[in-house]
Amino acid sequence: MNTLVDDAKQHGTAVGLSVDRITINGGKPLQGRIELKGAKNLVTKAMVAAILGDSPSVLKDVPNISDVRIVRGLLEVHGVRVTEGAEGELVLDPSGVASAHMADIDAHAGSSRIPILFCGPLLHRLGEAFIPDLGGCRIGDRPIDYHLEVLRNFGAIVEKLPSGIRMSAPLGLKGAKVSLPYPSVGATEQVLLTAVLAEGITELSGAAIEPEIMDLINILQKMGAIITVDTDRVIRIEGVERLEGYTHRALFDRNEAASWAAAALATEGDIFVGGARQAEMLTFLNVFRKVGGAFEIEEDGIRFFHPGGELRPVIIETDVHPGFMTDWQQPLVVALTKAKGVSIVHETVYEQRFGFVDALVEMGATIDVHKECLTGKHCRFGQHNFNHSAVISGPTQLHGADIEVPDLRGGFSHLIAALSADGRSTVSNVGIIARGYENFITKLELLGADFELAG
Ligand SMILES: CC(=O)N[C@H]1[C@@H](OP(=O)(O)OP(=O)(O)OC[C@H]2O[C@@H](n3ccc(=O)[nH]c3=O)[C@H](O)[C@@H]2O)O[C@H](CO)[C@@H](O)[C@@H]1O
Ligand SMILES: C=C(OP(=O)(O)O)C(=O)O
C-alpha cells in the first residue's frame, strides 16, 4: 500500500501541483469570489457511465482534480478515447472499449474508489472485468461486500485474487431484487450502472438518494435508461437493450461549497461561492445558520459570511442524504472551535473520521473524541471500539503549528485551521487536497490568503 506521502505526491502531480507544503500566515479573513465546477462525487461516476453508451458522451463542468485524472487514465487503459472540448468539457468515446492489460491497470491501483464501479459496464461490454486495489480516503475499513453481493445477484462470477478482483458473466447479467443493509452511495451506483443494461427488472431497496446519485440517474435517463425513484429508498430499473451517449452539465460540488462556507466562518471572512445552489445544501445551510453564519442565496451562487458576534455551539449527527453529509463535518469542526460552548459531532457514516482533530488539538483546540454515540441515536459503530463522537469546547484561538494532511476533507480543515490561527503554520502533504478541490491554491490567492508554497 502507498504511504500518505506517496499518495499526496501522486495526487498533486496528477494536476500539476509541484509542491508538498504550504506555509500559511494566519489571521486574515478570506474574502472574495470563487467558482465551483461539477461534483467530484458525480463527475467520476458520469465518466464511467460513458462506457455503457454506443456513441460518445460529452460531460461539462469537469473539475481539474486528481480523481478525474485517475478515472480518465483507467478509462483510457480500457480503450475509451477521452478528449478535451471547451474548458471543463470532456468527450468520452467508448467505441474502442477493450480489456485492459494487467500491467497498465496496476498503475492505477490504490488511487481512488471508482474502479469498483467499472464492473457492471465492463461486464456488459466485454463479459469480464478486473478491478485493482481501491484507494480513497483512509477514514475507516471501507469494505466492498455490498458491491460484490450486488454483482453476484445480477449473475456475475466474482473471484478474489491477491492483486484485485476478477469478474465474469458468461450468461450475461439479469435484473434482480436487491436490498442494501445500509444506503451506501457506491453500492447504489453499482446497482444503477449494472441494472440499466441487465435483462429484465431490478428493484433496489435501501438505496442511497444523494443529489449526486439523482444526477447520475438524470444522465442514465438521457442515455435511454428507464429508472423510477419511488418513496422509501426504492429504485426500480427496467433494463433496456442499448444506451446512447449523453451530453450533460455536472451537478455543482456541494461538498466544496460547504468547505468554503466553513472557511468564511472560521476566518471571519466573506466568500461568494459561484455555482452553489440552495436545494442540495438545505441541511448544511440550517446548521451554518444555527452556528451563527450568514448566507445570501443568489441566482448564480451563495454568499457565505461571518456577520459578527459570537458563534454558537451545535449538536450534529452525520448521516446519509437528506441528513448532514459526513464530508461536511471536518471543515465545520474548525469553525466550531471558535463557538462559545460545547458542540458535539457524532459521525455515523465512517468509523474513523476524526483523525484530523489531532492537528487541531496541537493548534490549541479543545476536542475530545469518544467511542460512545454521544447524540443519543445509536449507530453501527456504538458497540465497537471506534472514536466516532467528538466534543468540541470553545471558544479557543488556534495558534500556528506544523501539521500534516491525513485525508481529503481533513486536509481542507487543516488549511482552514492554519488560515484562522495566530501565527505561522506549515501544512504538508497538500497534494491529497487536489483529489477533490480544483485549483485550491489559486482560489486561496483570489481570496487574499497570505501563504507561500514550499517543498
Ligand atoms: C467517490 C464518492 O462518491 N465518495 C463518497 C461516497 O463514498 P462511498 O460510496 O465509498 O461511501 P458509501 O456510502 O458506500 O459508504 C457508507 C458506509 O457504508 C459502508 N459500506 C459501503 C460499501 C460496502 O460494500 N460495504 C460497506 O460496509 C462503508 O464502510 C461506510 O461505512 O459516499 C460517502 C458517503 O456519502 C462520501 O463520504 C464519499 O465522499
Ligand atoms: C471520502 C471522500 O471521498 P472518497 O470516497 O473518494 O474517498 C470525500 O470526498 O470526502
Condensed to tens digits (0 to 9), the pLDDT of residues 269-326 reads: 999 999 999 999 999 999 999 999 999 999 999 999 999 999 999 999 999 999 999 9
Helices (H), 78-144: 102-106, 119-126
Q: Is the CB of 326 under 6 A from ligand 1?
A: yes
- Pairing status of strand 21-25 against strand 226-229: unpaired
Mean pLDDT across the chain: 95
Please indicate if the annotation marks 21 as binding a ligand: no
CA–CA gap between residue 423 and residue 421 (Å, rounded): 6
The number of beta carbons lying within 10 Å of the beta carbon of residue 453 is 13
Position 37 scores a pLDDT of 98
**How far apart (Å, rounded) are the C-alpha atoms in residues 315 and 53?**
45
CB contact at 8 A, 26 and 364:
no
Could you report the per-residue pLDDT of 186-241, keeping only the tens digit for each? Answer: 999 999 999 999 999 999 999 999 999 999 999 999 999 999 999 999 999 999 99
In ligand 2, the atom with minimum distance to the C-alpha of 135 is 7
- CA separation for the pair 231, 388 (Å, rounded): 30
Which ranges in 253-312 belong to alpha helices (H)? 254-266, 282-291
> Is the pLDDT score of 424 beyond 60?
yes
Query: Is the minimum distance from the CB of 148 to ligand 2 under 6 angstroms?
Result: no
Helices (H) and strands (E) in the chain, counts: 14, 23
Please give the DSSP secondary-structure letter assigned to residue 363.
T
Q: How many CB atoms lie within 10 A of CB 177?
A: 10
> Cα(142) to centroid of ligand 1, in Å?
7
Cell readout for 89 is 468539457
Q: pTM (2 decimals)?
A: 0.97
Say how far apart CA 405 and CA 411 lie, in whole Å.
4
Residue 1 has pLDDT above 60, yes or no: no
Quote the pLDDT of residue 103: 66
The rounded distance, in Å, linking the Cα atoms of 187 and 193 is 10
Tell whether 40 is in a known binding site: yes
Q: Can you tell me the distance from the alpha carbon of 446 to that of 30, in angstroms, rounded to the nearest whole number?
A: 9
DSSP-assigned beta bridge partners for residue 159: 166
Question: Which residues, 6+ apart, have CB-to-CB distance to 256 below 8 Å?
Answer: 36, 39, 40, 273, 436, 437, 438
Closest atom of ligand 1 relative to the 42 alpha carbon: 3
Q: Which ligand is nearest to the CA of 186?
A: 1
Q: Is 373 assigned a catalytic role?
A: no
Confidence (pLDDT) at 215: 98
Spatial strand order in the sheet of 366-370: 315-317, 341-346, 389-394, 366-370
Catalytic residue among 119, 137, 373, 379: 137
State yes or no: pLDDT of 101 exceeds 80.
no
Residue owning the nearest CA to atom 7 of ligand 2 = 136
pLDDT at 105: 73
Q: What's the CA-to-centroid distance between 208 and ligand 1, angstroms?
A: 10
Choosing from 11, 41, 184, 350 the residue with most ligand 2 atoms within 8 A of its CB, the one to mutate for a pocket test is 41
Task: Say what the pLDDT of residue 8 is.
Answer: 87
How much is the pLDDT for 102? Answer: 67
Ligand 2 close to Cβ of residue 136 (< 6 A): yes
Q: Which amino acid is at 33?
A: R
- Provide the pLDDT for residue 113: 84
Shortest-distance Cα residue to atom 2 of ligand 2: 137
Predicted pLDDT at 73: 93
**Ligand lying closest to the C-alpha of residue 138:** 2
106 is in an annotated binding site: no
Ligand 2 pocket, 327 CB below 6 A?
Answer: yes
Taking CA atoms only, the protein residue closest to ligand 2 atom 8 is 327
Q: pLDDT tens-digit profile of 355-383? A: 999 999 999 999 999 999 998 889 999 88
Instruction: Return the pLDDT at 2.
Output: 66
Q: What percent of the chain has pLDDT over 90?
A: 85
- pLDDT at position 5 is 86
Q: How confident is the model at residue 416 (pLDDT cuts 50, 70, 90)?
A: very high
CA–CA gap between residue 195 and residue 438 (Å, rounded): 32
Domains and CATH numbers, the chain: 4-36+252-454 (3.65.10.10), 40-249 (3.65.10.10)
> Which DSSP helix (H) or strand (E) runs through 76?
helix 66-77
Amino acid present at 397: Q
Residues 6+ apart with CB under 8 A from 46: 38, 57, 59, 215, 216, 219, 248, 250
